[in-house]
Structure 1
Amino acid sequence: MEKNFLSLIKMHRSVRAYKSEPVLSKALDVVLEAGTYAPTGGRHQSPTIIAIIDSKYRRAIAFFGAYFKVQQLVVMTVNGLIQGCLPIMRFNYGAGNRDRLHSAFRYGTALVSGMMILGTLTVNFFPAQLLELFTASEAMRSFGISAMRIMAASYLFCGLSTMISTYFQATEKVGSSIAIQLCRQLLFLVPALWCLDKLFQLNGIWLAFPVAETATMLIALVIMAWHRHKNIL
């Protein structure tokens, strides 16, 4: 038994070429059942396996992986700038220097907006080149180019709402900051994904991201206007 297992390890190979024929449902059921018996730490993790059979959705998932790496490059760079603004705004708020607090917010918002516009333009003008970095197939490029352009529109609204959320965090209005983040990640995005997928199928999923970011930005502006009306900013 030990010898056979050692031989099996030595003969292990990674397969990078696949047949075009779909896997038989009976064989797939056996593989999925075997996966549920995979060992976990103290059996504390309940395995969940999702089998994507439709090639269209497999390509969509692969595209998401490529897109979110591009998004991370843009958004995380901007978030670094925003986090740099946070201690400056926080210090001036604690010092009671409202002029410098608002000045830091304005300059930070201008820089963040400029960087987001640059990111949006880059994705819109060079979507094919960006996908080529991830060796995208022709099938993925056929919908990925337009999908990247649609989803990149969310950058235009994401920067402002994130900056407003950070401003609230710096000025001890944590509830308002959390509300904005919840709108982005949960309250707007999940319903938008569900509704637009029903209406426009795969294109609705791409559209859900700018829709959720636009709604989040409007909520952030409404909350800020409410605070100003109450004279508590």
Structure 2
Amino acid sequence: MATTSSQDLGTKPISKLIIKQALPASIGILVMSLNILVDTIFVGNWIGSTAIAAINVVLPVSFFIAALGMAIGIGGSSIISRALGADQRQKALKTLGNQITLTLLLTLTMVTIGLLFADAIISSFGGKGDIFEPAKIYYEIVLYGVPVLALCMMANTVIRAEGKPKFAMYAMMIPSVSNLLMDYIFIYILDFGMAGAAWATTLSYVFCFLFILWFYGSDRSELKLSFSHLGLNVPIVREITSLGFVTLARQAVVSITYLFMNNILFDLGGETSVTSYAIAGRMLMFAMFPVLGVTQGFLPIAGFNYGAQNYHRVRETLNIAIKYAAILASIVFIILMLFPEQITRMFTSDADVLRQAPNDMRWVFAATPIIAWQLIGAAYFQAIGKARPALLLTLSRQGFFFIPLILILPQFYGEFGVWISFPISDVLATIVTAYFLNREVKKNLIPKDV
């Protein structure tokens, strides 16, 4: 039964497969994003708008460490998808074992460093003035749970690579729902403030981890590990890290972006501008859930069929995924252009933020309809195991375009220069990705089919 599930990726109609893979992924991302969104609403209304800015300071640090697990997960899942497609089950098992070992070694090391240099890190990421103290409270508690979160993020991608998208969805939903329940108890009822928000987040990771342990201990998974699979294998580690480095580099650039944005906006507009960016950032995580769901659903299908040398199915998967993602991105764009004021009011009643945030949000999402080409295009190279182009295209938007723009444009246009950097970088990155993707398809997919 389990074997049939992964083999479906190479036989079932592509449209149905993408929906089957993307729908649970989208729901999982939606619930996770709703968690972040509602968590921010709770914090803003029950603690204060400065608390929103404080969490925005901490997130890039904690998410970067947790992204080690996601990077290892996605890098290893690409190997697992292709190994299952090529009927190399032992390689798939060894890869999963190595993913677990690498995740634990790296995240525990990073958390230790993060706790030793807490004050300096918080200040560097924009935790200044009134933001510092609540940021430090949140930071220290959340960091204890980050290795557990990293394991959950790693395992989630592997569950999807097995062709079990519903269980991957459940793994994403459990911490989200539990976090909101504990937010209500710790913040609203017990009045623990920032510490309550942090403990709610940390404990939610534990619930997710317990579910994943159950999944791999049951007969739902076709990957049954033994201790021998945990020993590091140099060729597998090299392949995991080369492919996973794409995801890690992306998250590193995201963290660097937060560092620059929080500091630049604090200097230009103080706590109000940092809070405005925090709200736009939460909406960016939330509103893009259907597009990210299609991207996540696309990865195992493309990887499996590439490993099985079904190149016509890879091409079809690519085309359908871009079409679905573009339609969904356009819907997101319309909603956010029409209702930014109403969205901002959900987070805060602060008059200064209410005046500024809606217009900022419109600029952040101005190029959303075209973003599908960039996301799917970069993910394609990762799915087929081509780490270098995947890395370069993944970094193109924020690393090559956005960060230079936010350093240059504010010198001429002030804070407005920061906000117009969003659509400009989206357009430039999409053009570059479309060029390389089109060249790759013509060179390596079409000739093998004719």
TM-score category by the smaller chain?
0.7 to 0.9
Structure 1 segment 193-232 matched on structure 2, within 5 A: 193-228=406-441, 231-232=443-444
The one-letter amino acid paired with 1:142 is R
Shift of 1:156: 2.3
State the partner residue of 2:340: 127
Shift of 1:98: 1.9
CA separation of 1:55 and 1:202: change in aligned 2, threshold 3 A: closer
Shift of 1:181: 1.1
State the partner residue of 2:239: none
Question: What TM-score, normalized by structure 2, do the two folds share?
Answer: 0.41
The one-letter amino acid paired with 2:330 is I
Aligned CA RMSD, in angstroms, stands at 2.7
Residues 298, 318 of structure 2: 8 Å contact kept:
yes
State the partner residue of 1:180: 393
Q: Distance in 1 between matches of 2:288 and 2:408?
A: 26
CA separation of 1:83 and 1:115: change in aligned 2, threshold 3 A: same
Q: Write out the 4+ residue segments of structure 1 that deviate beyond 6 Å after TM superposition.
A: 40-43
Q: Return 219-228 or 117-126, whichever deviates more.
A: 219-228
Q: Distance in 2 between matches of 1:65 and 1:136?
A: 15
State the partner residue of 1:117: 330
The one-letter amino acid paired with 2:360 is A
CA separation of 1:111 and 1:41: change in aligned 2, threshold 3 A: closer
- Structure 1, unmatched stretches of 5+, are 1-13, 17-39
State the partner residue of 2:78: none
Shift of 1:141: 2.6
The one-letter amino acid paired with 2:431 is L
Structure 1 segment 45-60 matched on structure 2, within 5 A: 45=117, 47-48=119-120, 49=123, 50=126, 51=128, 56-60=269-273
Structure 1 segment 67-78 matched on structure 2, within 5 A: 67-78=280-291
Residues 277, 357 of structure 2: 8 Å contact kept:
no
CA separation of 1:102 and 1:125: change in aligned 2, threshold 3 A: same
State the partner residue of 1:32: none
Q: Return 202-211 or 139-148, whichever deviates more.
A: 139-148
CA separation of 1:224 and 1:128: change in aligned 2, threshold 3 A: same
Question: What TM-score, normalized by structure 1, do the two folds share?
Answer: 0.75
Q: Which has the larger radius of gyration?
A: 1
Structure 1 segment 86-97 matched on structure 2, within 5 A: 86-97=299-310
State the partner residue of 1:191: 404
User: For 2:347, what is the secondary structure of its paired residue?
Assistant: coil
Structure 1 segment 23-172 matched on structure 2, within 5 A: 44-45=116-117, 47-48=119-120, 49=123, 50=126, 51=128, 56-172=269-385
- Structure 2, unmatched stretches of 5+, are 1-45, 49-110, 130-265, 446-450
CA separation of 1:185 and 1:15: change in aligned 2, threshold 3 A: closer
User: For 1:153, what is the secondary structure of its paired residue?
Assistant: coil
CA separation of 1:136 and 1:196: change in aligned 2, threshold 3 A: farther
Shift of 1:172: 2.4
Q: Distance in 1 between matches of 2:332 and 2:402?
A: 21
Identity of aligned residues (%): 20
Residues matched between the structures, number: 198
State the partner residue of 1:26: none
Shift of 1:228: 4.4
User: For 2:288, what is the secondary structure of its paired residue?
Assistant: helix
The Cα offsets for residues 133-187 of structure 1, whole Å up to 9 and x where unpaired, read as: 1024332232222211111123223221010011112222221111011112312
